[in-house]
Structure 1
């Protein structure tokens, strides 16, 4: 099945470099599930060809994918509103036109609701519930309603509608590209870019929900298909310029992605600096992403230390920050020796817990007060030795 978003001839791209506004159609070379049987997760390892694109990247950079919406969700919207999929609608500031089905599939964001969308929609219905929800004094309820719901929820809940398809799509935002940390080094994989993407699936408000881009990659993109991509540089997350610097990397789950690229790059460049990785997930048997690769690098000496935390394999949940505390003496000596410290992954909990663990390590091993430990960490950050890629 082809899920490309191709321009008929891609004429634009003959003259312009590939970018966010002019993505390259990258061919999918490999798309596999990294998780083993029995895992509650699905993490895709995707290899894409950059042949002929002129695109390049550095370890730490991200790849943007311009996704298309789930066809089943598009069909549900058309059915709910009894719209004709062939209706022509205007999109964008240039007055470009597309069929309604194509606009809902490729052009508009249909899985997110905003205050602005609901306020605009209130003009197309007499539904009292919606009129009340958009009142200034109900801002908190409005925000709560938007969280975890999509366009279909809104259309089902607040009808009947006095709106054309054009009226409704005019309320929507343009599809935003999804950014993923690159999981490969171009020196190790010329003309290729690799990604590590966790499929997002959950149930909310009596409906199954799917991450727009992650589930596109997990369910609908086959080897041989193409994906529209561009490279997004990340100036604040990169390897030390000097090959002899030690690096400490904390990347549980899909947070492993940029560190796979760091390790590959260091292997190619035969870096003399030591490399230490903290990786964590649920179960060692099914969720140890890139296990054989990492063990091979460890065996070859490219990866000096590998510490893992599998939270569901023991009675007490063990996470990466616990492994840091267990190794506090050595961790602090690496920092004192000028090591760079990197974190990638969940911003909400993991990155905060890792930051807290780091302060505890410095406080304990440096025999400092909490304030002094925080100042020490701030100083490392100023030197560019504490870098985070969190989302």
Structure 2
């Protein structure tokens, strides 16, 4: 890749943005126990969310399409275990986890692979008049942060690239990061970051001497957000279960989508266990095989509603409708 190739002569003065003020401090903590079952800061509000965060369970799945000339399409059934009023056309947001291979790659690059499960405390540096983003937990671990809190494939803003240059020791590599964050390097930024979609892992691979601290990622990477999926089931027949249908997304760089690949893994977990129990002769009356996930209800963005000729009573429909 030509990403690391310098474009401007060293004598060219680049018009650079100021280095963003660092305001987050990460220290290893003496806390003995962290709730690994609830790694998300659940009190932080979610854009467009109209329900609290719900821990649901994937109870079954089906592969709907397969072939060289078609996208793989899956259907998952989620048991939400709570009262959940909805209509066809509404959607749920599914909280994924970042791909484990990419998480481990970043942990190793940050020098945290041997401390990935060590408790850390996240605070604002003394003397800095800023606040922590509300979605950041005060106590966590490096692995949880990279796996469940930050969007590690988030778009790299110029301010982040400018800050990364401060943690780069090799001259040409540092200069390249400065080019990308400069006014003169706008075309290069557009080509590699916006069009090709290079991620933090991609940039660190091309810039080996850059070793940023975890605190810098907390300051610049966005929050890992839920992905919206339309509900593909009826509230009248499925009770407290909802079905979603999704395609396996593949990015232009050949990566599988964060959420669709994570959901596929959920499907494979449930499907694999089901087949193993089937071979063992376990009856259908056995306990349900499940895989946990986090969901939140989203409103219907297009105000789609079912045809009035459906066999629902006026009162039933009225009780399910919501004002969006």
1:176 aligns with 2:242: no
1:75 to 100, 104, 110: 104
Q: Is the 8 A contact 2:57 2:79 kept in 1?
A: yes
The residue aligned with 1:339 is none
The residue aligned with 2:168 is 125
Q: Deviations over 1:318-352 (max 9, x none)?
A: xxxxxxxxxxxxxxxxxxxxxxxxxxxxxxxxxxx
* Cα drift, residue 97 of structure 1: 2.3
The residue aligned with 1:27 is 57
Q: Is the 8 A contact 1:89 1:165 kept in 2?
A: no
1:151 to 177, 200, 206: 200
- Aligned residue for 1:209, secondary structure, equals coil
The residue aligned with 1:48 is 78
The residue aligned with 1:112 is 154
The residue aligned with 1:140 is 187
* Cα drift, residue 213 of structure 1: 0.5
The residue aligned with 1:295 is none
The structure in which a higher percent of residues are strand is 1
1:234 aligns with 2:300: yes
Distance 2:38 2:209 in 1: 37
The alpha-carbon distance between structure 1 residues 26 and 33, as it changes in their structure 2 partners (threshold 3 A), is same
- Aligned residue for 2:255, secondary structure, equals strand
The residue aligned with 1:90 is 122
Distance 1:27 1:117 in 2: 37
Q: Which runs of 5+ in 2 are unaligned?
A: 1-34, 44-48, 124-131, 271-289, 315-324
- Aligned residue for 1:197, secondary structure, equals strand
The 5 A counterparts of 1:1-391 are 6-7=37-38, 22-51=52-81, 53-83=82-112, 84-86=115-117, 88=120, 90=122, 92-93=132-133, 96-115=138-157, 116-125=159-168, 127-147=174-194, 148-161=197-210, 163-202=212-251, 204=253, 208-221=254-267, 222-223=269-270, 224-239=290-305, 243-244=308-309, 266=310, 269=312
The CA RMSD measured in Å over matched residues stands at: 3.0
Q: Is the 8 A contact 2:156 2:199 kept in 1?
A: no
Q: Is the 8 A contact 1:20 1:229 kept in 2?
A: no
The structure in which a higher percent of residues are helix is 1
* Cα drift, residue 129 of structure 1: 0.6
* Cα drift, residue 188 of structure 1: 2.9
* Cα drift, residue 101 of structure 1: 0.9
Q: Is the 8 A contact 2:94 2:226 kept in 1?
A: yes
- Aligned residue for 1:152, secondary structure, equals helix
Aligned length: 234
* Cα drift, residue 175 of structure 1: 0.6
Q: Which runs of 5+ in 1 are unaligned?
A: 13-18, 245-265, 272-391
Q: With CA pairs under 8 Å and 6+ residues apart, which has the higher RCO, 1 or 2?
A: 2
TM-score by length of 1: 0.53
Q: Is the 8 A contact 2:42 2:53 kept in 1?
A: no
Q: Is the 8 A contact 2:76 2:245 kept in 1?
A: yes
* Cα drift, residue 197 of structure 1: 0.8
Relative to structure 2, which stretch is displaced further, 55-64 or 230-239?
230-239
The alpha-carbon distance between structure 1 residues 132 and 106, as it changes in their structure 2 partners (threshold 3 A), is same
* Cα drift, residue 179 of structure 1: 0.7
* Cα drift, residue 89 of structure 1: 5.5
Distance 1:164 1:114 in 2: 16
Q: Is the 8 A contact 1:68 1:106 kept in 2?
A: yes
Distance 1:11 1:65 in 2: 14
Q: Deviations over 1:35-71 (max 9, x none)?
A: 14555421110111122x2222122111101111111
Distance 2:185 2:103 in 1: 30
Q: Deviations over 1:173-219 (max 9, x none)?
A: 11111111111221232212111111113462xxx412110000012
- Aligned residue for 1:93, secondary structure, equals coil
